[in-house]
Amino acid sequence: MNLYMQRFGSNEFKKQFHSLTVEEATMKILEEIEAWAKDPSKKMSDYRYIREKHDYQVKAVLESDLIVEITEILTSYPGGIKGLISEEPDAYITNPVSTPKKITYKRSQTLVDQGGEQLELLSERDFEQNESFQILFGSQGSLELDVQRAMDPIDREVFGAIINHRSTNFLKTRIITVKLGELVRDVHGQRKSSRYYQNMRNRLAKLRSLTFRLVQEGKETAVFGFLDKVEYYDEDSTEIAEITINSYVHQQFVERQTTKIYSEMLQGLSNNVSRSIVFILQKERFAEYSQESIALDEEQQYDYGFFNRRITFNTRNQETNMGIIEMALQEIIGNNICIKDYRRVQDVFYVKFLPITDMELADLGPIKLQ
């Protein structure tokens, strides 16, 4: 700067450095650099003299900034890096656990003995081949649970939020430990009200109390639920939930009997039925067809009974439900997820799947392709 002052004079120096003296200009630059160093929002590439560095230094700085950006995206996403992929056990996809809207059940006088515990039979749906699907409820004497004989789309959302917080010990222990506030944030956003915390406790208690039972020709073929146990403790004035996942569902995670989809894709779906159907069709897409057969634009056939077997609709009117399914398929196609086209002929949908990409195969597998 001394040389600049000598060569161009004080007027040009003032225009260039917005200072009257070299000392004043030096002080301003040092203050600017200090402010840059202390500002957590600033990147290394924001350094005042980055352009004067060697090419290899500039490259290293840009790579560091990129790593920081990616890390911030992953850590800010609900559930961290695992939250980038939503994963559901097949038991929830192949059975009518999904409810597009809230369904409230009346107190039932019919009791079913399940593992020595008397559970209320809230609902029973009959299917083909003498098979039925039962929804059971055990309040365990809790007054709070007495008013919670209901199912809604948030049940699956809460379970998904819990699963996103699983650690490497989950496959061995079935236990997921998570801050209660993080579950509230994942499901409801940044809510601080104690009401949301109590609602989450009630929700977890309800998920513990719901049991699903498959019966075929009078014999029990499968029993599963959401949670087997929920306990709370404080850690540094923070409420922690220690959640034990249902054993049947846990075994499906162990054996990879699950279906995955990118969470970002689900965010584009506004219809709860769409969110259920996209998992149903994603399972079909990965399980049944190779890349080659999908690329041939082969239509796959799914009738009304296929969807009705997997979703609990709020009405029994088939034509109404067919319209709901069709709207969901249109939204899924509009978001470029899973399927690229469909056509409806009476009560049958003919679906064309999108090809499975190499990235999907790596992220969402396993799948055996011929």
Domain boundaries, the chain: 2-75, 80-255, 265-364
Class of residue 286 by CB neighbours under 10 A (exposed 0-12, middle 13-18, buried 19+): buried
Amino acid in the structure at residue 244:
T
> Rg for the chain (alpha carbons), in Å?
28
Higher pLDDT, 326 or 64: 326
Task: Give the C-alpha separation, 32 to 49, whole Å.
Answer: 12
* Range from 147-156, 343-352, 353-362 that averages highest in pLDDT: 343-352
- Asked whether the predicted pLDDT for residue 248 surpasses 80, the reply is yes
Chain centroid, CA 180 distance in Å: 17
- What's the fold here for domain 265-364? Ribosomal Protein S8; Chain: A, domain 1 (3.30.1370)
- Asked whether the predicted pLDDT for residue 302 surpasses 80, the reply is yes
State how far the alpha carbon of 135 is from the alpha carbons of 151, 235, 260, 354, in Å: 10, 36, 25, 35
Task: Give the C-alpha separation, 325 to 280, whole Å.
Answer: 12
- Asked whether the predicted pLDDT for residue 14 surpasses 80, the reply is no
Sheet of strand 227-235, all strands in order from the earlier edge strand to the far edge: 175-179, 238-245, 227-235
Averaged pLDDT of the chain: 83
10 — pLDDT class (breaks 50, 70, 90): confident
- Asked whether the predicted pLDDT for residue 192 surpasses 80, the reply is no
What's the rounded mean pLDDT across residues 184-202? 86
- Asked whether the predicted pLDDT for residue 133 surpasses 60, the reply is yes
Structure token pair of residue 350: 């003919």
Position 328 scores a pLDDT of 94
Sign of CA dihedral 19, 25, 31, 37: positive
Structure token pair of residue 3: 């040389």
75-91 pLDDT tens trace: 554 444 556 888 999 99
